[in-house]
Chain A
């Protein structure tokens, strides 16, 4: 049942073994980045506590959940949502709530390099899988613990999802129409946190490569978002100014926005950032009389009258197909793009040519398309394979890595430690 791993020559992280205890998006994406870079990533779950995303199934535009009960590993291995954040990993079924299961996990960590966890602070410790306990088994272990607000502090135990740390990190507050409410931001936030965790792990790997020392990394999701508004935070420190929502506006350029095109929910994003781009834009518009009026005759005037300008531009764009118009504007040297949907991005010849989507063969789902990682390296290969069926690598882990006999494995299964 194990996946074919396309093990190319000279991967970035060949020889690095990662144990992934995380569920949902952020932790799995962090571990997946390491897997695509060539680390051997083993995801630890169980039939009792599978990654919840394994249960999420498409249902005619809605989402349905595989309900708890007598599910089999196969029932829990048909979700392409799960697949998206778990490419190129191995899977082992270990019941961490069972004493012997936790012991198996400890033995596995003892032969590994990196641990990724994303439970609430204290849970890993309760399972006997805290950094202290694991470090005793593996001196140079690198462990990253991802949580909403970090491992310490008065709010460390608070529950958090993407839109909560987007809010607590300050990005939601400044995202929205100038006269509107703040904006919820979702899964991109989880993946931002996962990327941040991957950066921290890579830095720790580089450090260990030099010094031989491992370490523990306490990663806060709230802070992972807050660092993305550093300029806004410094502005507060400098001027006690609380940055507000600005829609699509820029602080100096106009026009700068999204404008309606023909068709339902079709928009073009465009901007003119120089006198030359403004003239080119006017030219593509056919130099309408209003564009020569005094109120739009300088960059500052255009910015000051930007709402009037937006209305006039939209009267023009709304006659056009967004894709066609973007090509014309780009041809004239004006920054412009359709506001792209998933369908646009999938059908985008540019992304196809760059191999931004990867095609995979999943053991149960067959052909799948997933978004690749945003790196094109000139020399070293990336490793892409479909996500594993739950427990697909039990034999590899228990036999080869831990040296259990089949009788021992059977006994552990009967006790409920495995599965």
Chain B
């Protein structure tokens, strides 16, 4: 552990949503000590969200929770109670927290006495990271949100589905990304800001408050498309996303995305298809004319693709130099030789969820280790933190438990 990038960094996390949990996970996998504070009444809501093995709900077996909380410690604490507030203050000091990550809803924020000023007075060095749908200021800061609405307030919903999806379904509704990825990228953006504040704190000795709006985090990822409106009065939409040639193409056993964006890639594609006669016609040979006959060319490529598997197309085109990718399912990812050779999936054992292959991290550091360790059981570290670290008498712990504080 001494060789992890963030070894020795102390993080407290109070998260009920995916983004803030994922922010904590990123730091935990990078080696920080992350203590997750969960509600004694059931813990992180992710524990009751699935998927579960065999669809049998169990708070220690939620795939979402197991993934979003790798390597963290868990303590339970009712921060709304007066004992909870005192314990929290003691914890901040005893633990020596560098960072506090939180995602309280507006009404919870109001109910809690300790706002940023209060928290910083406990420990001036601490950086507080607040991750909320619309940020902490501005006329919409109290708006209600779910990941769906946050996503569609971020600008990308207006662009999805584009190209082939738009061609097939021009009358249907805009789409969000699948799964909970859109929340995770917000946690990712927050983590970069959190480390910037940590880096600065180590120089100045002072913490600060970072206000991250998920709407803005999503918005920034489409910065080029968004900037077209103010700078050229052009509104990108689902209808404006066509590629001249290629795109999503159905093949024998699934889909591929073919992107012959440069002339040499088109040549490579022609080569890989075995130079069919149509590709030798003048309209498809000249790069400029090819672009104006892109739709026809794509239809011809699609005809060819129907006869081949996604694996054949992927390796054959790529080896010839044309950019292409398999539209990969979860099963395809586990079967990927590339991911396998990089040990992207690693086995992680858990006392109740068992041994499972987890995705690790997308970066390999030459001099430091990132270790993905199992998620904690609810309140697993109460003893270690309350008794071991904070020195609370075991009998008081029993009392606090009876009171429902921990």
Contacts and interface: CB of A to CB of B under 8 A. Distances in A.
Contacts of A376: 135-137, 210-213
Contacts of B367: 207, 213-216
Interface residues of B, number: 156
Nearest to B134: A350
Contacts of A258: 152, 157, 173-175
B328 A170 contact: yes
Interface string B361-403: 1111111100000000000000000000000000000000000
A231 B152 contact: no
A23 to B, nearest CB: 13
B220 A172 contact: no
Counting chain A CB atoms within 10 Å of each CB, the highest count among B164, B222, B328 belongs to: B328
Contacts of B220: 191, 371-374
B248 interface: yes
B299 interface: no
Contact of A345 (B136, B138, B155, B198): B155
Interface stretch (A103-111, A150-158, A284-292, A396-404): A150-158
A239 B137 contact: no
Contacts of B165: 176, 180-181, 183-184
B144 to A, nearest CB: 4
A340 interface: yes
Binding site of B, secondary structure by majority: helix, strand, loop or mixed? mixed
Contacts of B116: 378
Contacts of B241: 184, 186
Contact of A232 (B7, B153, B179): B179
A349 interface: yes
A144 B5 CA distance: 14
A260 B173 contact: yes
A153 B337 CA distance: 8
Contacts of A182: 248, 255, 327
Given A200-B363, A215-B365, A246-B178, A337 B235 contact: no
B257 A242 contact: no
Interface stretch (A68-76, A90-98, A160-168, A299-307): A160-168
A205 interface: yes
Contacts of B251: none
Given A85-B223, A340-B152, A203 B5 contact: yes
A410 B248 CA distance: 50
Contacts of A137: none
A164 B6 CA distance: 32
A174 interface: yes
A228 interface: yes
B181 A209 contact: no
A188 B156 contact: yes
B180 interface: yes
Nearest to B226: A342
Nearest to A57: B232
Contacts of B304: none
Contacts of A191: 220-223
B323 A164 contact: yes
Contact of A341 (B235, B259, B336, B344): B235
Contact of A371 (B219, B326, B362): B219
Interface in B296-333: 318, 321-333
Contact of A159 (B144, B202, B232, B318): B318
B330 A229 contact: yes
B152 A350 contact: no
B323 A235 contact: no
Given A13-B199, A228-B181, A169 B368 contact: no
Interface string B193-237: 101111110101010111111011111111111111111101111
Contact of A184 (B196, B248, B318): B248
A48 interface: no
Counting chain A CB atoms within 10 Å of each CB, the highest count among B9, B152, B265 belongs to: B152
Interface stretch (A122-130, A266-274, A411-419): A266-274
B158 A204 contact: no
A330 B148 contact: no
Counting chain B CB atoms within 10 Å of each CB, the highest count among A10, A345, A374 belongs to: A374
Nearest to B238: A265
Given A184-B161, A269-B148, A336-B149, A251 B227 contact: no
